[in-house]
Amino acid sequence: MNAKRKATLIGALLACALYILLIIGPATAGHITGEQPTTAFAAK
């Protein structure tokens, strides 16, 4: 596997992980901190 393909694959995996955290984060951490849902709604 060449470097460019590996970098693209790693970037895609990181993007998916970030996307999942953005969806699940407000649902889980929001109950603990109470400020996560407001920042998530403001981002929209």
Condensed to tens digits (0 to 9), the pLDDT of residues 9-22 reads: 999 999 988 888 77
Count of structural domains within the chain: 1
Tell me whether residue 6 is in a domain. no
Residue 23 lies in a domain: yes
Does 9 fall in a domain?
Answer: no
Does 26 map to a domain? yes
Looking at residue 21, its pLDDT comes to 79
How many CB atoms are located within 10 Å of the residue 26 CB? 19
pTM summary value? 0.49
**Does 8 map to a domain?**
no
31 within some domain: yes
CA distance 42 to 26: 12
Considering the domain boundaries, does residue 3 fall inside one? no
Q: What tokens appear for 11 in the block? A: 């970037």
Domain of residue 27 covers 17-44
Residue 36 lies in a domain: yes
Task: Grade residue 38 by pLDDT with cuts at 50, 70 and 90.
Answer: low
